[in-house]
Amino acid sequence: MTTPVLEARDVTMRFGGLTAVRSVDFTVNAGEIVGLIGPNGAGKTTFFNCLTGLYVPTEGTVSYKGTVLPPKPHLVTQAGIARTFQNIRLFANMTVLENVLVGRHTRTKEGLWSALLRGPGFKKAERDSEERAMELLEFIGLAHKRDHLARNLPYGEQRKLEIARAMASEPGLLLLDEPTAGMNPQETRATEELVFAIRDKGIAVLLIEHDMRFVFNLSDRVAVLVQGEKLVEGTPDVVQADERVVAAYLGEPFEGDPGEAEAAEVEAAEAAADATSTTSSTKGEAQ
Ligand SMILES: Nc1ncnc2c1ncn2[C@@H]1O[C@H](COP(=O)(O)OP(=O)(O)OP(=O)(O)O)[C@@H](O)[C@H]1O
């Protein structure tokens, strides 16, 4: 039987007049690698931000292992979801090891006083954290660079380090936002191996990616977002063969275009605003 790790129910996110994510139901099960794809501006990152508490969804809920998550990033991380970002967000002037140690703070129980007084409890916790951080660096192949400054690492290694930092919070689900962006083919290949290895450690993985080969090679399931709505979901074979997906990527209209309803809504709202407007007040662009 499949056990859901993540369950998003009816998640909608609006920014003023723009609905970036609309009524999305989405599940990641234990042991799965799931890909989330879609053309530029489809709402993928917005959806990720809803899952990780960075945004409070306008509607809907996000649950982790059966418990609804409060939309607060640190509580989401504490619950067991970690993420990386589209743009690298390392502490550039900290060492490789320090960057991973920062990622562990949600799992260390030593309080402020213990840390300030640097008592025996704190020292032991510090040793344990360092040991765990080194295990992670070994896992991603950066143990030999533990004392290098993050900013001096080549790009591909910086991306790996971000993943190690996210793993330091001991997540049950790891969200990767475009993990291969800017990578050369060798680095992409290595990342593919790394994602499989993460899954083999019992961590479910959800990834946003533009590199289709990478997504279809890795994922057990793929969901396609188009204009904020989930258009198709299934195995890589099913998704690749779906002509609506091809059409969405080529920018061609297709039947049941998920943008139609929204376009009509925006047009109606604009027409109503025009009709009631007696001054030349500004009107926001919908797209
Ligand atoms: N904070 C925000 N305020 C207003 N609109 C936003 C905000 N964030 C995203 N949007 C809009 O929501 C829509 C979805 O954007 P989002 O970045 O989630 O798409 P995406 O699928 O991640 O795109 P890409 O693949 O290019 O990263 C876009 O029209 C974008 O302009």
Domain of residue 48 covers 1-80+171-271
Amino acid making up residue 109: K
Task: Point out the domain boundary residue: 169, 202, 232.
Answer: 169
C-alpha triplet 12, 220, 14: angle, nearest 5°: 10
Same domain, 109 and 158: yes
Protein residue with its CA nearest to atom 8 in ligand 1: 46
The ligand 1 atom at the shortest distance from the C-alpha of residue 49 is: 18
Same domain, 178 and 65: yes
Same domain, 117 and 242: no
Amino acid making up residue 73: P
In a domain, 72, yes or no: yes
Same domain, 105 and 235: no
DSSP of 189-255: HHHHHHHHHHHHTT-EEEEE-S-HHHHHHH-SEEEEEETTEEEEEE-HHHHHH-HHHHHHHHT---T
Same domain, 213 and 129: no
217 Cα–ligand 1 center, Å: 26
Q: Which of 12, 15, 48, 210 is the best mutation target for the ligand 1 pocket, counting ligand atoms within 8 Å of the beta carbon and taking the most?
A: 15
Tens-place pLDDT, residues 151-201: 999 988 999 999 999 999 899 999 999 999 888 888 899 999 999 999 999
Protein residue with its CA nearest to atom 16 in ligand 1: 43
Task: Say whether pLDDT at 221 is over 80.
Answer: yes
In a domain, 284, yes or no: no
Count of residues for the chain? Answer: 287
Instruction: Give the residue with greater pLDDT, 263 vs 249.
Output: 249
Same domain, 21 and 40: yes
Same domain, 206 and 227: yes
Query: Looking at the 3D structure of the chain, how many domains does it have?
Result: 2
C-alpha triplet 201, 206, 210: angle, nearest 5°: 125
Q: What is the ipTM of this complex?
A: 0.96
Same domain, 202 and 250: yes
Instruction: Give the closest residue to 172 by CA, choosing from 203, 140, 129, 130.
Output: 203
Tens-place pLDDT, residues 16-30: 989 999 999 999 999
Question: Under a CB-based contact definition with an 8 Å cutoff, are residues 162 and 102 in contact?
Answer: no
Q: Which of 18, 55, 175, 266 is the best mutation target for the ligand 1 pocket, counting ligand atoms within 8 Å of the beta carbon and taking the most?
A: 18
Protein residue with its CA nearest to atom 29 in ligand 1: 41
